[in-house]
Structure 1
Amino acid sequence: MRVLVVCTGNICRSPAVERLLAAGLGGTFRGQGAGGLTPAIEVSSAGAGAVVGAAMTDEMADLVSANGGAVTGFEARQLTAEMIASADVVLTATRRHRSSVVELVPAAVRRTFTLREFARLAATVESAELPGAGSTTADRLAALIPLATARRGSVRPKQAADDDVVDPYGGGGALYATSFAQLEPAVRTIVSTVRL
């Protein structure tokens, strides 16, 4: 299973989600070795207007590290159509990023969600709807995608902005805390839905 996370610069929101999701799902992230074995879940990220080659911002790295995510070895990269086409699911920071992904690869529309949208839809899925005993986290994540897609029209946010994660870049610690407080619970919801 390949998960791609997208934001603007690929230095704040998407790397935070990449590293937290990889930790929570027992997957690997781009650049992390898997001991010679192919990982069941690989999480990567990219930016629609990436600061190519840059590290995660210090403020976001501190929040990710404090919550169990690895922060070393990260380098921002520019989003490409090939990345989208090879992903099983694409999670974006905002609705605008979701539109950008679908403009690049229209066929990705049914497997592209904002992070908070995907979490909201995942929260409506009963454990019995996902593969049970003998299945892997990757199996359950794969099964969650079409279930989330099918619920998209019936489970709506209170307001559209509830699907977005605020961009903290250039802001102070309070804005980073706000952004993290929007993305971290969404990651936690997705992880708790698919982990056995």
Structure 2
Amino acid sequence: MSQIVEIRRSDDPRDAIHRACHRLAEGDLVAFPTETVYLIVANPQSPEGVEKLVSLESPAPRTLLLKSHFELWDYVPKLPANADKLARRGWPGPLTLGLNQSLVSGLFNDLAEHARRALLADDKGIRFRVSAHPLLIDTLRLCPTPLIASSEVSALHGPMPRNAAEVAARYGDRVSMIIDDGPCRYGDPSTVVNVSEKEWNVSEQGVVSECTLKRLCSEVYLFICTGNTCRSPMAEALFRRLLAKQLKCQDEELIDLGFNVLSAGMSAGSGSPASREAVNVLAEDGIDLRNHESQPLTERLLLHADHVLTMTRGHRQSILNLYPDLADRVRLLSSEQGDIADPYGGGPRDYAECKESIEKNLKMLISQLVPLRS
């Protein structure tokens, strides 16, 4: 019989995770909850464990479970742009990426042959996923390599079980240990997206809709100032209006055309309105900034953005001091590489000059951007 560990009743969940790691190292199979369904997992360094996993549902495609989206680059050094966006914005979460074998190299070649064969069970490429379930995340942190997981949809039985009892009933003692964390959040499989160098398509529909995937693949423009109440919200709103005019669409249609426009502040709080003067100066152009709410710049926002445009050199340098790898994404809004002065505390004239400077630079940005998409 499988050992079922009810994690919510455990005095020390870490002990259960350590025992699961030991079972995997010994070549046993362990069932883990995810936010979608329960997955049967094997250690890729164990030939016995991988063989047991393959025998469960052969020739179903299996998935390499990673710790984070950063790790994907170790296995796909020339990651397609859409795969990078989906990984950055969709992970951790109910999304599985299938990449053509020709794109996969790096650490994948260091996996043992039995592990590579198990992951190359069909011609749909190699599947990768980062689950959002904390138990699986914590287990992966203790493992020296990613883990190999069963397919979320069984060729014989349909979707994988949604709770520990169903796992035990379906697989019996073929699974050594089952981590029981109750019913899965969604109870449906993750969406499987196959990504090539130039396009993507849904091969198995799951939790994430195609509409959401399109938005995840959009170009994200993030404008940065200090408090997110003057310059960056003005830039965000003006960029929306100017870009929509250039594309001959409504502001709200930009997201469906592949553009997502945001703003944040280096020292911003959450929920503050735009300054009265910023609201007034944009109202002259028919732009309503009254519903703006400030937000602080976070790591998640930075990782989601494709283009980070700062108002000053100091803003840019502060970001790069913490995230030097983002140097190719973070740039000054000013085409002359100068600072756009903060009008905060000034009068209508200061805000009008600030708006004029922002608008001039946005028009230059858009003139370079739109022809590339036509």
Kindly state the Cα deviation for residue 66 of structure 1 after the two structures are TM-superposed: 2.2
Give the structure 1 partner of residue 368 of structure 2.
193
Structure 1 residues 191, 69: closer, same or farther in 2, change over 3 A?
Answer: farther
Q: 2:314 aligns with which of 74, 81, 96?
A: 96
SS of the residue corresponding to residue 46 of structure 1 reads strand
Matched AA of 1:172: G
Give the unaligned 5+ runs of structure 1. Answer: 121-156
Give the structure 2 partner of residue 169 of structure 1.
344
Give the unaligned 5+ runs of structure 2. Answer: 1-218, 246-250
State the alpha-carbon separation in 2 of the partners of residues 186 and 113 from structure 1.
Answer: 12
Matches within 5 A, 1:99-178: 99-116=317-334, 120=335, 157=336, 163-178=338-353
Matched AA of 1:164: D
Q: 2:227 aligns with which of 9, 21, 31?
A: 9
Kindly state the Cα deviation for residue 14 of structure 1 after the two structures are TM-superposed: 0.2
Matches within 5 A, 1:74-85: 74-85=292-303
Kindly state the Cα deviation for residue 104 of structure 1 after the two structures are TM-superposed: 2.9
SS of the residue corresponding to residue 351 of structure 2 reads helix
Q: Could you say which structure has the larger radius of gyration? A: 2
Q: What TM-score, normalized to structure 1?
A: 0.68
Structure 1 residues 102, 40: closer, same or farther in 2, change over 3 A?
Answer: same
State the alpha-carbon separation in 2 of the partners of residues 105 and 166 from structure 1.
Answer: 24
Say if 1:26 and 1:41, in contact at 8 Å, map to a contact too: no
Kindly state the Cα deviation for residue 33 of structure 1 after the two structures are TM-superposed: 6.0
Give the structure 1 partner of residue 271 of structure 2.
53
What is the aligned-residue identity percentage? 32
Q: Which has the higher contact order (CA 8 A, sep 6+)?
A: 1
SS of the residue corresponding to residue 90 of structure 1 reads strand
Moved more, 2-11 or 183-192: 183-192
State the number of aligned residues.
Answer: 148
State the alpha-carbon separation in 2 of the partners of residues 108 and 54 from structure 1.
Answer: 28
Structure 1 residues 68, 91: closer, same or farther in 2, change over 3 A?
Answer: farther
Say if 1:166 and 1:178, in contact at 8 Å, map to a contact too: no
Normalized per residue, which structure has more helix?
1
Kindly state the Cα deviation for residue 68 of structure 1 after the two structures are TM-superposed: 4.6
Matched AA of 1:11: T
Kindly state the Cα deviation for residue 34 of structure 1 after the two structures are TM-superposed: 5.4
Say if 2:311 and 2:340, in contact at 8 Å, map to a contact too: yes
Q: CA RMSD in A?
A: 2.3
Give the structure 2 partner of residue 42 of structure 1.
260
Q: What TM-score, normalized to structure 2?
A: 0.37
State the alpha-carbon separation in 1 of the partners of residues 333 and 226 from structure 2.
Answer: 14
Matched, 1:62 2:280: yes
Say if 1:22 and 1:42, in contact at 8 Å, map to a contact too: no
Structure 1 residues 39, 65: closer, same or farther in 2, change over 3 A?
Answer: farther
State the alpha-carbon separation in 1 of the partners of residues 362 and 309 from structure 2.
Answer: 10
- 1:63-104 deviations in Å (ceiling 9; x for gaps): 223235342421000101111111001000100011122123
- 1:2-50 deviations in Å (ceiling 9; x for gaps): 00100000000000000111122229xxxx9659x74510110000011
SS of the residue corresponding to residue 328 of structure 2 reads helix
Matched, 1:86 2:261: no
Say if 2:342 and 2:354, in contact at 8 Å, map to a contact too: yes
State the alpha-carbon separation in 1 of the partners of residues 274 and 362 from structure 2.
Answer: 18
State the alpha-carbon separation in 2 of the partners of residues 193 and 73 from structure 1.
Answer: 30
Structure 1 residues 96, 164: closer, same or farther in 2, change over 3 A?
Answer: same
State the alpha-carbon separation in 2 of the partners of residues 193 and 61 from structure 1.
Answer: 28
